[in-house]
Amino acid sequence: MLVRFNFVSSYLKKERVKMSGKNWIFEVPTNHGNVSIAVHPGPHTDELLAIMMIQKAATRQFVMDHQAETIGLGVEGGPYDEHPNNGKPRKVGECTATLVGKALGIHQDPVWERMLRFAYWVDQGEPMPRVDDGEGSFPEEWNHPFDINNLFKCHWRRLSKGKKEVPVEKGLEYVTWALEILDNFWAQQRDFIAAEEEIRKNSETRTMMHKGRPLDVMLIRSDNPEINAAARYFFRAGLVIIRHSLGHVRIFRNKQNGVGLDDLMKLITIRECELRGEPYTGRWDELKNEGEGPGGIWYYFRQHGMLLNGSEQHEKPSTVINDDELLRLVATALDTDLFHPPLEDTCKKGSCRHSRTTPCPLYQYGLGRCQKVRYDEARNRISG
């Protein structure tokens, strides 16, 4: 039986699907013509990824080589079936996706590499090696109740209702749905890889001392949603400042270095109010609380170390603080070796000399390092 469907999917739109024995046969469009592929009902992550790679990356030669046949993905014992078959042993270290990736020459492409690695390890049913994501070494998700692999399994079980023979309409619905999800992951990975070059072209880095260790602060001009992750992964940035094209700014810390942003929230909020002609008259210690700051321009997500001037979910007016001043405020807040120059020597010796006659401009912010100087000085007076 040959059935024609009209799905919205960019992969299988108005294409054909049929049953052949126990397998589904799909006609998949590529840039060089259609190819016919066979998969078992309810294809797994590696077969689904293989379908998407053929659709996106099939070369003219690949299509010509396979135009007169049906490509078995994980079935029928062909070149893209890693299972033992007809006396042939298992293709060790491979899954359907890795075999197709190598045939297409994209198995080492960084846009595909991570997805291929995930598909292989979930196919093997083993924990994945640890991957350094720029914030320390953590295991990749695999077979977690809420990971993509298990999501595919859950959806197929609901569609098939535990039956071995399922209408081909359900098969096309499942594959279409899964490929749309994988396409979103692929697009995310594409943006992540592209972000590295974008950072090299549109950023500046300042290094400052924070609690005795160098801290790299990157200011990047970009609308790429993966720019923060890329700055931490490729450049090990300790603090990332992102200026979007409409002027909004988002600031993220690297959790690994343990930098707190309380002082930065104070400085930015107070300066924002000054520039808008609405000087802040409240207590500085209230500004370090999580939530929206005065004027509603900045939101402090204290738990995760984020300062947000608007987000994808919340529209806000863009900050009036320019890039140079942002970097100055960051240095003032986070460079723990920085004190007001005329009073610097006494500060570093553990004595605060702020007074009406010798005012210190940093006093109003209640910076953590200044509080420590005053606290230690008072304690020494009492104990001495």
pLDDT bracket for residue 223 (50, 70, 90): very high
pLDDT per residue as tens digits for the range 239-256: 999 999 999 999 999 888
Give the Cα-Cα-Cα angle 16, 22, 26 (nearest 5 degrees): 20
* Axis-axis angle for helices 168-201, 110-124 (nearest 10): 140
CB neighbour list of residue 378: distance below 8 Å, 6 or more residues apart: none
Q: Which of 163-172, 235-244, 287-296 has the lowest mean pLDDT?
A: 163-172
Contact 3, 17 (CB under 8 A): yes
Predicted model pTM: 0.80
Distance of CA 315 to the CA centre of its chain: 21
pLDDT bracket for residue 350 (50, 70, 90): confident
pLDDT of residue 230: 96
pLDDT of residue 238: 94
The residue among 377 and 95 whose pLDDT is bigger is: 95
pLDDT bracket for residue 134 (50, 70, 90): low
Of 281, 280, 254, 252, whose CA–CA distance to 264 is shortest? 252
pLDDT of residue 133: 54
Q: Is the pLDDT of residue 138 over 70?
A: no
User: Across all residues in the chain, what is the average pLDDT?
Assistant: 85
The residue among 379 and 326 whose pLDDT is bigger is: 326
pLDDT of residue 132: 57
Q: How far apart are CA 105 and CA 101, in angstroms?
A: 6
Contact 36, 25 (CB under 8 A): yes
Q: How far is CA 381 from CA 270, 291, 374, 384, in A?
A: 32, 37, 11, 5
pLDDT of residue 6: 30
pLDDT of residue 143: 56
Adjacent-strand bridge partners of 19: 24
pLDDT of residue 212: 84
pLDDT of residue 142: 52
The residue among 381 and 146 whose pLDDT is bigger is: 381
Q: Which of 3-12, 48-57, 239-248 has the lowest mean pLDDT?
A: 3-12
Share of the chain above pLDDT 70, in %: 89
Q: Is the pLDDT of residue 148 over 90?
A: no
Query: Do strands 203-210 and 137-139 pair parallel, antiparallel, or not at all (unpaired)?
Result: unpaired
pLDDT of residue 264: 95
pLDDT bracket for residue 127 (50, 70, 90): low
pLDDT bracket for residue 8 (50, 70, 90): very low
Q: How far is CA 166 from CA 42, 50, 60, 70, in A?
A: 9, 22, 34, 21
Q: Is the pLDDT of residue 49 over 70?
A: yes
The residue among 283 and 189 whose pLDDT is bigger is: 189
For the segment 65-70, the average pLDDT, to the nearest whole number, is: 90
Q: How far apart are CA 97 and CA 54, in angstroms?
A: 10
Q: Which of 163-172, 249-258, 333-342 has the lowest mean pLDDT?
A: 163-172
Q: How far apart are CA 178 and CA 45, in angstroms?
A: 9
Q: How far apart are CA 185 and CA 111, in angstroms?
A: 10
pLDDT of residue 108: 93
Give the Cα-Cα-Cα angle 134, 138, 139 (nearest 5 degrees): 135
